[in-house]
Structure 1
Amino acid sequence: MATELSRIRNFSIIAHIDHGKSTLADRLIQRTGGLTEREMSAQVLDNMDIEKERGITIKAQTVRLEWKGHVLNLMDTPGHVDFAYEVSRSLAACEGALLVVDAAQGVEAQTLANVYQSIEHDHEIIPVINKIDLPSAEPEKVRHEIEEIIGIDASNAVLASAKSGIGIDEILDAIVERIPAPKGDPDAPLKAMLVDSWYDPYLGVVILVRVIDGMIKKGQQIKFMAAGTTHLIDRVGAFRPKIEQLPDLGPGEIGFITAQIKEVAQARVGDTLTDAKRPALQALEGFKEVQPVVFCGLFPVDAADFEKLRESISRLRLNDASFSFEMETSAALGFGFRCGFLGLLHLEIIQERLTREYDLDLITTAPSVVYKIKLTKAAGEAAGREIELHNPADMPDPNRIESIEEPWIKAVVYVPDEYLGSILKLCQDRRGIQKDLTYVGGRAQITYELPLNEVVFDFYDRLKSISRGYASFDYEQIGHREGDLVKMSILVNNEPVDALSMIVHASTAETRGRGMCERLKDLIPRHLFKIPIQAAIGGKVIARETIAALRKDVTAKCYGGDASRKRKLLDKQKEGKKRMREYGSVQIPQEAFIAALRMGEE
């Protein structure tokens, strides 16, 4: 039977990376008897090795806990900006949130982004100041920061240490007392939100749902309103955190269903589930198609691994519908795939999973973003077409381009005062437009508008190294803007290398080109003839480096005699070198590609 509405509490945990969210979830599970001491492991809800190693949450997880006669549904959501849409759906499924802030580090950028989303959903937010047993903890300072930056009352914030188990009972009591119970009508037509979905090799696609109105039962025919497909439910249940099958789920409850669905792509996050025979009149608000933001090529180092890569990518796609791929070929790198990701962390995770779980050696081309190109009017056309460009190698002829638009983001950076100057310089160098600069305690909050193209390379790494890891960074997309963008090609021995071509802003093209040529000069081994390396925009060369030829001493066998003998041998060598330069091909080793692409820019 469905649980009584007044006894249900749905909440999520909001925290910056490494502020103790997964550890707190562990303690709550342990305290409410979800798992015995023997079954516990660190970060129970983080299933992937990468999640445990990096201390991040990639997939949302849910667990049903019992405390003093109440049912508590905990949603463990990702904290990173790349998964912002999934977080928004998870928050929409709750009535309250625990805001976890590290007592030593204070409020950080990602915490803010998710808190504001939570406030928009009209949640009751309970501040939890975690890690109070650290020697560097300053709970009072952090309490003041929460009030000043976020603007919520932190006078009754719970002081806790998830690692030591301090304050866990107080947190559970606060959830029961302060978070409101959900509302819903069990007799209304079924309306449930699809919060998340993942692929299980035995059950097919497992769908995480939050029931708003009506009931979900085993054997019921349901319809996905956005996808328009119907399915028969064969299993209903909840995680405690072990799977427990239930006869039904009622309003306000969070649980899972399976319905013999084969692909995650059919069960899209944010979709509305309703009864196929007695459907709801309108779907829930907030559903949108997730669009990839960053694109790059993935190629196997060994060409024989191409089929293995195809199979591995298809299997990963079963579990992650937000990642897209299509086949592409490159003259330099052979066969591979052009893949789309939600952001840089998503790209890194997919790449790491392919390397680890499927044992593949990969070359990743430089990440690029989606450009909108308006073409000039062709004969017989009323107006110029608009196309989307994912791969710099597919850039149309410059004469056909009327304008190019690139995506921009609004970035918020938190940084201690002493690093402010160098961070401002970094943002200015990346064509940033400063919008705001305020102080909170000893830290500056900078708001910048930046082109995403400048951020995808190595902005995050540079930010962390300049600030010694103290800066935190969060961003949101603000649409496309027109820019003076050009395609820069790299030519080695007068042959264009498609894998190294990139789209750059005209003002930074020369610096970028010179950097790339200098680096390739160090990476490509010397040959018996001179090799020119050039960066070009259209037909105009903007940077050049030359790799000197290896010199073979052809006059070594001449002992004395007339000078014309040596001259003759040297002239013969000169002719040979000239011919070699015309017909010789330059072998660029894979390591050189990997190094040139990985470094992006200095």
Structure 2
Amino acid sequence: MTDKKIINIAVIAHVDAGKSTLVDALLQQGGAFRENQEVKAQVMDSNDQERERGITIYSKNCAIEYKGIKINIVDTPGHADFSSEVERIMKTVDTVILLVDSSEGPMPQTRFVLHKALELGLRPILMINKIDKKDQRAEEVVDEVLELFMELDATNEQMEFPTLYGIAKNGIAQFTMQTSSTDLSPLFETIITQVGSYPIELAEQPTRMQVSTLAYDSFIGRLGIGRIFEGTLKEGQTVTIVGNDGVNKTGRISKIMVYQGLNRVSVTEAFAGDIVTIAGIEGISIGDTICDPQNVRPMEAITIEEPTMSMNFLVNTSPFAGKTGKFVTSRNIRERLERELEVNVGLKVEPLENSQVEGFKVLGRGELHLSVLIESMRREGFELGISKPEVIFHKDPVTGNTLEPMEKVIINVPTEYAGTIINKLNQRKGLMLDMDSDGVRDKVTYNIPMRALIGFRSEFTNDTHGEGIMVRSSNGFEPYKGDIESRANGVMISMANGKTLAYALGNLEERGILFVGPQTEVYEGMIVGQHSRDNDLDVNPTTGKKLTNTRSSGTDDAVKLTPYKNMTLEEALEYIEWDELVEVTPIDLRLRKKWLTQNERKQHRNDKRKATE
């Protein structure tokens, strides 16, 4: 086994470049499936939310064999919010396949994942994907990638990257645009040529392995996943674990598993170079180094970029609290967040102090990062009150000035809508970096405060009639840009408890956009719609038509209502203001005011006004 060549690769790219599709093809041609086996598309995206959203959220491992060589493959997320998943696995691989769309070229997240790979000294393999597109410009894209390598200070060796062209969905890779191919053989051969044999002598060194990912098994407990950098691991072996805090402890490995196809297979021994899953070490954590007790040499800690956004996860205090959820107390929420911290390294949790409602401040890498956690919790039976997302400001250590997180945004819209979008981005303190047009669609690049984009996506979709594309990625910190206008419209707030009636909703339609339909249970303080003006409006959506001596309640024509706006979780989180919450339950999403009665809201508005004076 020590003579068997093992190569570890990661597939990295911007979202929608075709990573998961390429991994499907590698697995298929690497013999991971039976000939007659029915396989789902994007087989590595096994999480329910991944399949529903059509994105990769978690880094995952699999393995294939090609010409007697074992190739461990790591599929990584492409969305900027999950970049912490990419950061921590880079040290476990020998090379990365950088996948770039033949039409779009390098996108913001491409820069981030490539930068991490180059920092660790990896020599990437470039694959231009989707060369069958009508608007492909593969040769230009290669030049753009070369420029990106130069901008990121790649070494001369890294600049000499091999380039392939392919169609991942058809399982094809070729050496040039002119040559033809029927499979991924050119990619397999390039991987083997690019990566030399893992040094045999390292297998004879004292054991050293670093944990890069965690998993959980209901039978054997917490699992640590990582690469063996030196030595061997044996089942039953006693090891020293060095934590990120430098504290040593002793443990015993009860089980070792390696990857074959999509499955983990138990082995009694594993060798340097392989990616393994180990069990039996209580409290194992990401970044821990597993060492030989006689030769303790901790590896460099895995550093993850700091969170940029926070939300408050509060105990649900609405009148409907506990009706559908199983887990409603602060203790339930705390235990669930503590479990999440064990596997989600991009997350931080702080207890709320001086708060009227029990809860926790949860810090993450963006709205999507946190909303995926919220959605997971509601599906598990949790009830929560979620506050408006807030960006995390920093202090400049030299000047003491406030710094705020910025984002690089690429907008691709039909030309007739470009003026509206540019105007709105300018109002939000954005700075245009580049603009290009082909006469039909305009491509605009902006540097803009992250907080300016909270609530902008739905507005962007409406303004572009669903034809616009917006891509975002983190772009460092810059001095505070000043106040930015928040939501322009007020809301309609229920002033009664009960079921909504079509008669009342029909009258309210004239005042704005409804968020609820007929026969919906509402309570005082619940938001039932958007007001057409900038002030909040208290309404009664439960009012029925009164009977009179001359007319019955059924004599008028039936009320015909416009379909109400049913918000998704992300839309609701973007929509709310500082004095509002999203009530999340396993069945329903509701918008509500933090303070339910008119008197309470008036009092807190006065208090806030006095505090700002």
Same fold (TM over 0.5): yes
For the pair 1:157 / 2:164, whether they are aligned, the reply is yes
> In the alignment, which residue of structure 1 is the partner of 2:278?
257
Question: Is the 2:393–2:405 contact (alpha carbons within 8 Å) kept by the matching residues of 1?
Answer: no
* Residue identity in the other structure for 1:508: E
Distance 1:32 1:524 in 2: 50
For the pair 1:234 / 2:254, whether they are aligned, the reply is yes
For the pair 1:116 / 2:115, whether they are aligned, the reply is yes
Q: How does 1:320-335 map to 2 (within 5 A)?
A: 320-322=343-345, 323-325=347-349
For the pair 1:409 / 2:428, whether they are aligned, the reply is no
* Residue identity in the other structure for 2:21: T
Deviations 1:548-594 (A, max 9, x none): 89999xxx99xxxxxxxxxxxxxxxxxxxxxxxxxxxxxx9979961
* Residue identity in the other structure for 1:257: I
Cα distance, 1:229–1:198 mapped onto 2, change above 3 Å = farther
Deviations 1:229-262 (A, max 9, x none): 5332111221112111223333322221112435
> In the alignment, which residue of structure 1 is the partner of 2:293?
276
2:364 aligned residue (337, 341, 344): 341
* Residue identity in the other structure for 1:238: V
For the pair 1:432 / 2:430, whether they are aligned, the reply is yes
> In the alignment, which residue of structure 1 is the partner of 2:562?
none
> In the alignment, which residue of structure 1 is the partner of 2:335?
314
For the pair 1:209 / 2:208, whether they are aligned, the reply is no
Distance 1:197 1:427 in 2: 40
Deviations 1:95-138 (A, max 9, x none): 21112223454433222321232223232222223334456655
Cα distance, 1:129–1:291 mapped onto 2, change above 3 Å = closer
For the pair 1:195 / 2:212, whether they are aligned, the reply is yes
SS at 1:207's partner residue?
Answer: strand
Question: Is the 1:19–1:102 contact (alpha carbons within 8 Å) kept by the matching residues of 2?
Answer: yes
> In the alignment, which residue of structure 1 is the partner of 2:12?
14
> In the alignment, which residue of structure 2 is the partner of 1:169?
185
Distance 2:3 2:9 in 1: 16
For the pair 1:370 / 2:392, whether they are aligned, the reply is yes
* Residue identity in the other structure for 1:348: S
Distance 1:66 1:131 in 2: 25
Shift of 1:306: 6.7
SS at 2:294's partner residue?
Answer: coil
* Residue identity in the other structure for 2:40: S
1:28 aligned residue (26, 29, 36): 26
* Residue identity in the other structure for 2:239: Q
> In the alignment, which residue of structure 2 is the partner of 1:220?
238
Question: Is the 1:113–1:474 contact (alpha carbons within 8 Å) kept by the matching residues of 2?
Answer: no
Distance 2:590 2:402 in 1: 28
Shift of 1:463: 4.9
Structure of greater Rg? 1
Distance 2:239 2:364 in 1: 33
Cα distance, 1:343–1:290 mapped onto 2, change above 3 Å = same
Deviations 1:124-171 (A, max 9, x none): 222223334456655455445544555667884232333456532222
* Residue identity in the other structure for 2:164: A
Question: Is the 2:232–2:269 contact (alpha carbons within 8 Å) kept by the matching residues of 1?
Answer: yes
Cα distance, 1:49–1:136 mapped onto 2, change above 3 Å = farther
SS at 1:157's partner residue?
Answer: strand
> In the alignment, which residue of structure 2 is the partner of 1:351?
374
Farther off after superposition, 115-124 or 408-417:
408-417
SS at 1:431's partner residue?
Answer: coil
> In the alignment, which residue of structure 2 is the partner of 1:295?
311
Deviations 1:5-51 (A, max 9, x none): xx222211012222221121122112111232426333222221111
For the pair 1:516 / 2:479, whether they are aligned, the reply is no
Q: How does 1:532-571 map to 2 (within 5 A)?
A: 547=538
SS at 2:313's partner residue?
Answer: strand
Deviations 1:162-194 (A, max 9, x none): 345653222212211223444572343433222
RMSD across aligned positions (CA): 4.5
Q: How does 1:524-535 map to 2 (within 5 A)?
A: none
> In the alignment, which residue of structure 2 is the partner of 1:244?
265
Shift of 1:308: 1.0
Question: Is the 1:410–1:449 contact (alpha carbons within 8 Å) kept by the matching residues of 2?
Answer: yes
Cα distance, 1:370–1:141 mapped onto 2, change above 3 Å = closer
Shift of 1:224: 2.7
Shift of 1:445: 6.3
Distance 2:515 2:436 in 1: 48
Distance 2:456 2:536 in 1: 27
> In the alignment, which residue of structure 2 is the partner of 1:89?
88
Cα distance, 1:292–1:443 mapped onto 2, change above 3 Å = closer
| Count of residue pairs brought into register by the alignment | 490
SS at 1:446's partner residue?
Answer: strand
> In the alignment, which residue of structure 2 is the partner of 1:76?
75
Distance 1:589 1:168 in 2: 48
Question: Is the 2:88–2:304 contact (alpha carbons within 8 Å) kept by the matching residues of 1?
Answer: no
* Residue identity in the other structure for 2:387: T
Unaligned segments of structure 2, at least 5 residues: 151-158, 173-181, 495-510, 517-523, 526-533, 550-580, 595-613
SS at 2:192's partner residue?
Answer: helix
Query: TM-score when scaled to structure 1?
Result: 0.68
Cα distance, 1:145–1:470 mapped onto 2, change above 3 Å = farther
